[in-house]
Amino acid sequence: MADETNKRMLPATSWAVLGLLSFGEELSGYDLKKWSDRSLRFFYWSPSFSQIYSELKRLEKAGYASSRMVAQETGTRDKRVYRITGDGMTAVRTWARETPVDPPVLKHGPMLRLWLGHLLEPEQMCEVLVQHQEFAEQMRRQAVADAEGAKDEASWAYPALTLKWAERYYASERDLAAAMLDDVAALRSGRGAAGTGGDRPDVTGAG
Amino acid sequence: MADETNKRMLPATSWAVLGLLSFGEELSGYDLKKWSDRSLRFFYWSPSFSQIYSELKRLEKAGYASSRMVAQETGTRDKRVYRITGDGMTAVRTWARETPVDPPVLKHGPMLRLWLGHLLEPEQMCEVLVQHQEFAEQMRRQAVADAEGAKDEASWAYPALTLKWAERYYASERDLAAAMLDDVAALRSGRGAAGTGGDRPDVTGAG
DNA sequence: TTGCCCATGTAATTTGTTACATGATTTA
DNA sequence: TAAATCATGTAACAAATTACATGGGCAA
């Protein structure tokens, strides 16, 4: 049956969710979303609630997770909590060990806009860069803060390592923006010619 | 009518395609895909053929691009070529100037796997890092090569700037992988996490 | 003349988001 | 007690990919 092979070919996001469960705790969809926002977010995008819920259903159907309803003592609405199965542990371990390394996916909106520099005033290019710089510094700080919370716990050693990586990554993003600000300034003053007027609406040629 | 506002709220990928057209040439879907692969790819993901075709239809419907069929002299199948309109230039310029700067989207598969280090043998972590390192160095070199082709043309000044950025970005990715290899080795030899930064690779050096 | 790759698309499917529904809990 | 918010989902929609269809040029 094709089903057997499909189990091994889940999208990366499924593995990310199963990875969250692989630390062993029994968690609800809501818990997973919150945790995802505080960890995966730094190097992988954090899926929406609805996608986490549907990934959980898929994982359960594949036999990689099991769930049960939990009645809240205070009369709160019941919730469904998930736990990874033995099959799930085997599968996610195999995935992490044996899947070919594929390149990261980057969609860098700010760079896309700077690539269209012929449509911008130099001040607007700088504005984009400064805002990105601030974003990067903020992310860096949050990575440091989260790493602080995760240290001294042996089981968080590898998550802590990736937070360390994230700290450096966002420091680099910040510095890259600064370097590009310099380059824009140099282009503006130095080698005059291109873009000195800033506004170049006649690029469409013959018209 | 809601239609008028929808025109201004296209997804980023539409603006990317319109941005490709904003340099003024008349291009087919196939041309756009090829060019996208050699430019956008470094900082924005390159959309598939089919998506480029559907974006072109959407842009034409919005009045931002016009198309015509071109009969090939050699009897080859006719093809449709697109050109940006005045409305399109105005729209993409407005987008590039006035849209709020939103954060880049990163889906870093290699980091996701290292985050799950408790499922891996140390050798496997290193393998992932080495392969990512090689990928990053290859991208860096391609960015350098493409920048070589784009220099000395005034209209490519800003694309050239983003290629410069890409060169540094991938150099940094490469160095970040090297730093993490060190951290994994340190963790392995029992001394817990490595020092808290300070010895970071110099981003502006463009090694 | 068979098979393969280039070029130009369309259709089916999957992935992921936003908007909505529901109920309990807190707060003003 | 009304409004805001937390928590748990479902449904409708949009974005994006893979698979497929088509036809010409070219190499074995």
- The pTM is what? 0.89
Average confidence (pLDDT) over B105-132: 96
Chain A residues closer than 8 Å to B172 by CB: 169, 172, 176
pLDDT of residue B150: 77
Nucleotides of C under 7 A from a protein CB: 7-12, 14-19, 23-25
Rounded to whole angstroms, how far apart are CA atoms B190 and B185?
9
Contacts of B187 (CB under 8 A, 6+ apart): A157, A161, B193, B194
B189 pLDDT tier (thresholds 50, 70, 90): confident
A78 pLDDT tier (thresholds 50, 70, 90): confident
Tens of pLDDT, residues A35-73: 999 999 999 999 999 999 999 999 999 999 999 998 766
Chain A residues closer than 8 Å to B135 by CB: 101, 103
pLDDT of residue B128: 97
Tens of pLDDT, residues B70-99: 876 665 678 899 999 999 999 999 999 999
pLDDT of residue A143: 94
Comparing A116 with B154, the larger pLDDT belongs to A116
B45 vs A102, A106, A179: nearest CB: A106
pLDDT of residue B4: 43
Please, how many CA atoms are within 13 Å of residue A115, restricted to the half-sphere of its CB? Answer: 27
pLDDT of residue B153: 80
pLDDT of residue A18: 97
Give pairs for B92-96: CB < 8 Å, separation 24+.
B92/A116, B92/A119, B92/B15, B92/B18, B92/B19, B92/B22, B92/B64, B93/A119, B93/A201, B93/B22, B94/B8, B95/B8, B95/B10, B95/B15, B96/A113, B96/A116, B96/A119, B96/A120, B96/A124, B96/B15, B96/B19
Rounded to whole angstroms, how far apart are CA atoms A174 and A183?
15
Report the percent of chain A where pLDDT is more than 70: 85
> In a mutagenesis test of the A interface, which of B116, B130, B175, B183 is the best target, namely the one with the most A β-carbons within 10 Å?
B116
What is the average pLDDT score of chain A?
A: 87
Give the CA A59 to C1' D6 distance in Å: 26
